[in-house]
Structure 1
Amino acid sequence: MKQFFAVAKYVVIAALLVVVGRLVLTQNSEQAKILVVHSYNNDLAWVNDVDGGIRRAIGAAQASDGPRLNVRTHYMNLRNHPDCNFYKNAAAEVRFTLDDWKPEVIILVDDLAQALVGFNQLMLDETADRYALAQDLNDWISGGRCATPALDFFGLDDPGDTPLPELVFAGVNGSVAHYGYDQASNVSGIFERKNYAALIETLISLEQAYPGDVAGIMMLNDASPTAITENQNYRAEDWSPFVAEPPVNAASIAEWEDAVALANERDLMLLIANYQNVSDANGQPVAAEDLIAWTELHANLPVLGVNTRFVADGGMMTVAIAGSEQGEVAMELALAALNGATARPQRDAQQFLIGMNQSLVRKRGLILPAIYEAFSREIGSFVPVVAQLYVVQDGDSE
């Protein structure tokens, strides 16, 4: 009798496991799968802001009885590992997830994810030259990191299996034609192009507040692919009433210091957007906080950031695109695709944020319109007067 009950117990347990397994499979089959792929890691404020916008859009969809969602987020962490072998392995990891999980939609954030992941998932037009696009991307990805490898190194020769997912891009500054997106039928997204009107208005305020001569402006960035792309937009913009000098991309701290010296010599205000990939004399990354603190200390004219993290990293002021809008709109486009929308819109960013460090404003003796302080206080990007203003370097003192 005991043996009978023991066997019966295991039969009941097995039956329950089967039922639970079927329930899980049924639930998963009813959920729409969305994979969010970030080029970088969540140690960047920008990435966390984008994720916050994504969560906000998901919450709004759930509140309005939207589709049941299964959302996964993957961080490729490419900014912290700017070398070809890491890029290769990171791309292969995402492709494995795509092959195994098969999401209906992929949200790709920032440029490198578009090239390493998005390109292979395109429904390209019949007239598109896939090989030429792949070769161009291959050169771009490897540029400055390694000798250009064969197309199979980054997997650009291996298109994804059908049915291909919908693609939604975010955080792209330049044209998406580089990735073949203009020749594909499954792509929508939101650009991260800077709000140049707001930048010019702020530069005018800084010029009026600065007691010395301002001969023009110059963009200074690192030499990352994103920064190189940023140059195209900078050159294309009408910066009137300012004279815009050619942009400078500094791969090393020596090149960065030379660029700041050049700006001082020519009475130029600096615009800085990308600065996390500058190397020291040993080839190691310079900490962003040290680089921006050094720049604020040595730049004669006011420096304006174009990056959400710039003030937190020690800068005086920034006017940057809001990452939360990028994430929210990207998820809204993903949900629209899941709901069968036939349009594939590509939108421009509308929201921007202002950040300000009051200590650095006062140290430079600038009197700025009160709206800058009020706005930055409202959104939590205002740094009040503090005792320590700079990271002291090279024997300099405050």
Structure 2
Amino acid sequence: MSRSRLCSVLMLLALISALPLLSEGPKKVLYIDSYHQGWPWNDRIADGIRKVLDDTDINFRIHYMDTKRNTAEDFKVNAGLKAKELIDSWKPDVVIASDDNAAKYVITPYFLNTEIPFVSCGINWDASIYGFPATNVTGIVEVNLVDKMLRQLSRYTNGRRIGYLASDTYTERQDAEHYKSILGIELTEEVYVTSYPEWKKEFCRLQEGVDILIVGTPGLADFDYQGAEIFVIENTKVPTGAMNEFLMPYALMGYMKVPEEFGIWAAQSALQILNGTSPAEIPMVTNHRFELILNLRIADRLGIVFSTGLLKNAKILR
């Protein structure tokens, strides 16, 4: 066989051996959203994912479970089954899944410790209840950054007594338990109310009994949001903080979680997995970025003057 013919044969064999790789096409990443398109928090998570993946040739797809608008248990179970069927048929190389329902109704019952790699994001406080981390699951857990907020608020008071005021719901009580058990925060007094008049009464009482007040979600059917804004300006005596933006008319300072952080971390982890890293080799983390909001009307009420540096990096509520 001539040398030129031998080279041609070798080149042909190389091309043939590469055909299976070429036929695979782009890698596929599936994002399972527990909620629906148009839900602001999760849409911003998706924006974070796209920010990382848009410059790649990855085939990216979103599947919505719609369990925010449909809360019945049978709907959630069926939504989890539909997501499983999509994974089985589309065969993504990595699955990113946001929020607790995707974990509870998709990953844990069908895929825990299987070969399909998952990156979870947005599970509240404790992922171990779903069996994470696992051999095929890593993730970023969502926590309130109340400890960072309290460190900032402590600059404006000499006392260390911390109060918590919220509606009497399971979620608010659980948040307080997590503040204590996970973040190590000592709450001097916890108050859970069932009506707007009770909320006003306890708000005033706590101004005399604590040095810092965390304002939880009211969640009350009779809560007067506009009236409460005037009431708070007139009756605030101690620095107050909140963890949700819609509560900022009633608090001096807020530390808001950044949803894009979850999407960016999840997408970057997905790329690591596609490059050969096992999910088990990627430690689970918690969020740490925040958006600072300052309420200048309450600051004026308390005689607090924020530093230029703090104002420069904050969203201002006037």
**Partner residue in 2 for 1:331:** 267
1:57–1:331 CA contact under 8 A, matched in 2: yes
User: 1:354 Cα deviation (Å)?
Assistant: 0.8
The TM-score, its normalising length taken from structure 1, stands at 0.60
Aligned-pair distance for 1:319? 1.4
Q: Distance in 2 between matches of 1:244 and 1:32?
A: 49
Q: Distance in 2 between matches of 1:291 and 1:346?
A: 43
The alpha-carbon deviation at position 181 of structure 1 amounts to 1.5
User: Does structure 1 residue 362 correspond to structure 2 residue 312?
Assistant: no
Q: What are the within-5 Å matches in structure 2 for residues 179-218 of structure 1?
A: 179-182=130-133, 184-195=134-145, 198-207=148-157, 216-218=161-163
Q: 1:167 aligns with which of 81, 98, 118?
A: 118
Aligned counterpart for 1:70 among listed residues 45, 60, 68: 60
Structure 1 CA distance for aligned equivalents of residues 228 and 91 of structure 2: 42
Q: Deviations over 1:245-304 (max 9, x none)?
A: 25445566566556535523523532245x27x2416xxxx69x5597377355543321
Q: Trace 1:84-95 onto structure 2 (pairs within 5 A).
A: 85=72, 87-95=73-81
Output aligned runs, 1:306-385, within 5 Å.
306-311=243-248, 315-342=251-278, 343-376=281-314, 381-383=315-317, 385=318
Label 1:215 to 1:349 Cα distance change in 2 as closer, same or farther (>3 A).
closer
- Residue 303 (1) aligns with residue 240 (2): yes
Give the equivalent residue in structure 2 for 1:24: none
Q: What does residue range 275-286 of structure 1 map to in structure 2 within 5 Å?
A: 275=217, 278-280=219-221
Contact 2:215 2:251 in 1 (8 A): no
Match of 2:83 among 75, 82, 97: 97
Secondary structure at the aligned position of 1:244 is classed as: coil
CA RMSD between the two structures:
3.6
Q: For each residue in 1:142-172, what CA deviation from the matched residue of structure 2 results, as whole angstroms up to 9, or x when unmatched?
A: xxxxxxxxxxxxxxxxxxxxx6632222223
C-alpha deviation, 1:187, in angstroms:
0.9
Percent sequence identity is 19
Residue in 2 that maps onto 1:118:
107
| Residue equivalent to 2:44 | 49
Question: Counterpart in 2 of 1:35?
Answer: 30
CA distance in structure 2 between the partners assigned to 1:368 and 1:336 by the alignment: 41
SS of 1:191's equivalent in the other structure is strand
How far does the alpha carbon of each residue in 1:292-318 deviate from its partner, in whole angstroms, 9 at most, with x for none? 73773555433211235543x664421
Could you list the runs of 5+ residues in structure 2 that have no partner in the other structure? 1-21
Kept after mapping to 2: 8 A contact 1:105/1:166: yes
Question: 1:140-179 maps to which residues of 2 (within 5 A)?
Answer: 165-179=116-130
Aligned partner of 2:282: which letter? R
Q: CA deviation at 1:97?
A: 3.2
